[in-house]
Structures are given as C-alpha cells and as structure tokens.
Structure 1
C-alpha cells in the first residue's frame, strides 16, 4: 500500500504530486484552497520512490508506476467514483487513470501537464520572469540553481524559503535510481498505443 494521508469528508479526490515531490508538497499548496472549498475527501498519496513510499524493483517504466497507483486506487476506492488532481508528472499519471478507469473518474484538474521527456520544446512558450530579484541567485545552493533558473517566474526570498521547507525534504527521499529507469520508458502505452478516450467530465488545465 502506498503511503497516503486523507483529510476531510465528501467526494474523494486523489491528489498526485510531480517528480522530486511528495504528498507534503501538495498538501502545503492545496490545503489553503480547501479551507474555502469544503466537501472534498482529499487523498494525498506518495507515489513509489517518493516520500514515504519506498522505490520498487519492479517499477521499470511509467506503465509500472501507473499500475502501482491504479492498484492503490482499487484498494482504497473500490466501487467509488472519484476526482483527480495531478501536478506535472502526476497529471500524466492522472491521464493514464482516466484512460484505464474512465467510468470511475468524475472530474480532473491537471497542473503543468506539459514538458515530459520527448515533448517538442518548440511548442512551449519561452520562460518569462515577471518579478526579478538579482540578489537571490548568488545565495542559492548549487542544487537550487536549476529549478530557480528554469521555473521561477516570481523571484522572491519568501518563495525560495517556502520551497526549501517543503521541497528539500521530498528531494532527499526521492529515488533517482528508480526514476532513471522510468525516464527510459516514459510514455504510457495506454495513451500511445491505444486511442485516447474522450473525457467529458469537468476538467481544469493550468499550464501557466
């Protein structure tokens, strides 16, 4: 069983983190939203090789990662319909769940779903910094530079400190060895070798 934390009552909502993250990151970001949006049973899960869910030798591809999450869903939400929320790679896994269990999913929110290995960079907009602070970068650790340069749209010290608090612990538990295997077989065959299903449920895609 994958490590997970359940908060609240109501409609089940399976929440899937991205690479280098775990359920604590998602909880930190999303729980303030649910203070004003009751009625959701939030299921924050650590995917294998992240957080408190240890890596598994049998996970050698994205398909294997999806299978582990679907196995968790089948055990946790048998005969229950649920909604999905995924961030980055979590949104890709969410798409796989929709493909495999279309009648079970009532709605989906995909946050930053692009940029997977193999994506055409020409289709993506260039990185744009809306609020710059040149005094921050010299104070960053080597391990922080890539994400700061690649993802920071608003450069503020309070954001850097928040990322350190919620990202560094997750990064320390991330299995680079397992992920290296997954990246080599990144594409989900249920999306590439079969006709993708049309999902007619309520959907939200955030790609800014």
Structure 2
C-alpha cells in the first residue's frame, strides 16, 4: 500500500445515495462543478455529490510534498478511501480534472460505475502541443463588456468566452473566476513542473467498458476537440459529442445540451448498474 499523503481536501457534500465524485480543472475550485451539475441532479435524486477542491486550489492546501500530478492523484485516492471507501461511484472530471479522472479509472476500474469527461485534456497537457481551433467569439456583446466596472472580470471573461451574455458572465464570475482568485500559484507552478502522470493516459488506460461521456467544444481553443477523439478506443461505451457555439466553458455556454447529455449518461449508468434512474 502506498503511504497516505498529508493533505486533507476541502469539499462540499450534497445529497445522499450513489456517490458521485466531481473533479474541477486546473486553477478554479469546486464551484465550477457544483454550478453545472446541481441543476442536473435536481432532476435525478438519489445521488451523493462530492465536490472537492484539488490540492493548491480553492481551500485545499498543497504542502511541498505535493509536487506533481501523481501526488495530486494520490491525494484523490486518499479522499476516495476516506469519503467513499469501497462503494461503487460515478466519476466526472473537467479539463485537468478529466485527466486525473482517467488516472483514477485506471486505478479503480472495477469501482467506477461510469465516467463523464467535460472538455478533458487529451494526450497533450501542454497547450502548445495541442491541436486546437483558432480563437472565436460567435456571440459577442461589446456593450456588456464595456458596461463592466471590474476590468479584470471583463478581461478574463473576454479571453475565453465564445458566448458573451449576461448569464454566461454571471456564471463565469461566480463559478470560475471566484475559484481562480484562491489558487496557490506557487504550489501550482511546482506541480506543473511534473504535470504528466507517471503512467500517462491513454497508454495506461486499457479499456473502460462502462458507460462514459466525452463532451468537447467546437470552439474550445484551450483543450480543443480533435485529440479527445483518440480516447474513444479506450472507452468503447462512450458517447462523444462536439458542441457547436461552445468553448472551454461549454457547460455554461450550452447548458441545455450539457444537461441533456449528462442526464442521458446518468440513465445509461443506472440501467447498466441496475439502479433506478
């Protein structure tokens, strides 16, 4: 057995029933996942949702012993042991959280009932090595941006938004930017020096033959949508969707499609595991 890490992750727990572990991406905190998933689970009772902050992000510490993605994954393994134990659970990961989720699936394939990946990192963690589309804003609102008193909010939102509306701005501020402000930049720089897992997916993936979902944005100029197609041989039960008019924050730019596809995935997992949806 590997030694336990010295990190206790901050997390939010909601509901009861089948556990669902939701992992946010690089730099934000648990509010990214809570914001997009709670509307889904409001329509599907019977799930115990666990939203941790990854080490160095949100309110979770990252001491010097956390110096790589493998260390982050070890902390998540401890978190699963402490909060879920041996109980089967669903796993949802966004961006870097999707990369870590693939590592968890490799370690706990028999325990994971189903896997959902939202704008996941593909085979290349470094953005410079990824195949991504050119930056596009398909639904601009310059008047909205000009009306903002907060220059940083305006700039951060403008840098990534494909859909610029009052609702996407509000959700970006509350679910994403709020977490960015808490990140331990020194710890994240340390982790990023050893960003790839020792058993780098997909080489260590093998095949995960339970219901899966891979959502990508057609205008995602961060993770892209091309490289994720290469994941499909490792997930033979995966629905793979490329959503138009959606960037790296597709969950707030195409919320209706996001909800529908995630609900359908939950139904597939429930049918496969014998659980009522």
Same fold (TM over 0.5): yes
Which residue of the other structure, out of 22, 28, 32, is the alignment partner of 1:25? 32
Partner SS state of residue 72, structure 1: helix
State yes or no: 1:55 paired with 2:62: yes
Q: Do residues 111 (structure 1) and 102 (structure 2) align?
A: no
Deviations for 1:43-81, whole angstroms, at most 9, x for unmatched residues? 111111122212221111111111111111112222111
Task: Calculate the TM-score normalised by the size of structure 2.
Answer: 0.68
With normalisation by structure 1, the TM-score equals 0.89
Map of 1:81 onto structure 2: 88
Q: Which runs of 5+ in 2 are unaligned?
A: 1-7, 218-277
Q: Is the 8 A contact 1:88 1:113 kept in 2?
A: yes
Query: Which residue number corresponds to residue 139 of structure 2?
Result: 131
Separation of aligned partners in 1, 2:177 and 2:144: 18
* 1:28 CA drift (Å): 1.9
Moved more, 160-169 or 85-94: 160-169
Q: Which runs of 5+ in 1 are unaligned?
A: none
- Assess if the C-alpha contact under 8 Å between 1:99 and 1:190 holds in 2: no
Distance 1:84 1:105 in 2: 7
Q: 1:199 to 1:193 in 2, by over 3 A?
A: closer
Maintained 8 Å contact 2:157/2:172: no
How big is the shift at 1:141?
4.4
Q: 1:119 to 1:93 in 2, by over 3 A?
A: farther
Question: Which whole-Å CA distance do the structure 1 matches of 2:87 and 2:149 have between them?
Answer: 45
**Distance in structure 1 (CA, Å) of the matches to 2:108 and 2:156:** 34
Within 5 Å, which residues of 2 pair with 1:1-208? 1-114=8-121, 116-117=125-126, 120-121=129-130, 123-138=131-146, 139=148, 141-144=150-153, 147-191=156-200, 195-208=204-217
Q: For each residue in 1:107-165, what CA deviation from the matched residue of structure 2 results, as whole angstroms up to 9, or x when unmatched?
A: 000000037315633x2233332211122344474534564344211111332233223
Greater shift after overlay, 15-24 or 103-112? 15-24
- What is the CA RMSD across the aligned residues, in angstroms? 2.2
- In structure 1, C-alpha distance between the alignment counterparts of 2:180 and 2:66, rounded to whole Å: 19
- Return the alpha-carbon distance in structure 2 between the equivalents of residues 146 and 91 of structure 1: 26
Distance in 2 (CA, whole Å) between partners of 1:180 and 1:64 is 14
